[in-house]
Amino acid sequence: MPLWRSASAKAKLLQGIPLFEGLSPRQLGQIARLAEEVEVAANKRLTVAGETGRELFVILEGSALVKTPQGRTEHLGAGQFFGEMSLIDGGPRSATVEGSTPMHLLVIGHREFWALLADAPLITKQIMRTLSRRLRKADAAFSAYP
């Protein structure tokens, strides 16, 4: 599988991740430069529910199966992502994810991401706004249930 050498191609892909909503192309480029390209074999377990996570994965090529502890399953393919919560808080994974096929991934590590946030307060500010908006939306949806 060929490497995605273009930082702009990586940034364009990151644009579709809700966590990065509202970031400028330049800011997305800064995050894209942190992303490492990784190739993994089919059936490789990438995350395990309940275990500590420290990175975000974006699928460039291939597919993965997501299994939650509640028994829900989902298939992910090119352009989709997982691990954004652990990227932010380094907390436990909410699902187990295993490659269904060989995969080509972008991986953004927790340490590098937080180092960038320390040096780029405007990115931090926008991500905080996005997280706050998402939390308010989830809170409103939860409050609507009796």
By residue range, what is the domain housing residue 98?
35-122
Q: Which CATH number is 90's domain given? A: 2.60.120.10
Mean pLDDT, residues 51-79: 94
User: What pTM value is reported for the model?
Assistant: 0.85
In-domain check, residue 130: no
Residue 24 belongs to a domain: no
**Is the pLDDT assigned to residue 64 strictly greater than 60?**
yes
Q: Give tens-digit pLDDT for 14-52.
A: 998 888 999 999 999 999 999 999 999 999 999 999 999
Neighbours of 47 (CB within 10 A): 22
For Cα atoms 95, 71, 101, give the angle at the middle one, nearest 5 degrees.
60
Identify whether 25 is part of a domain: no
Consecutive H or E run containing 146: none
Q: Provide the number of structural domains found in the chain.
A: 1
Residues 46 and 58: their CA atoms lie apart, in Å, by: 12
CA dihedral 76, 140, 88, 74 (to 10 degrees): -10
In a domain, 29, yes or no: no
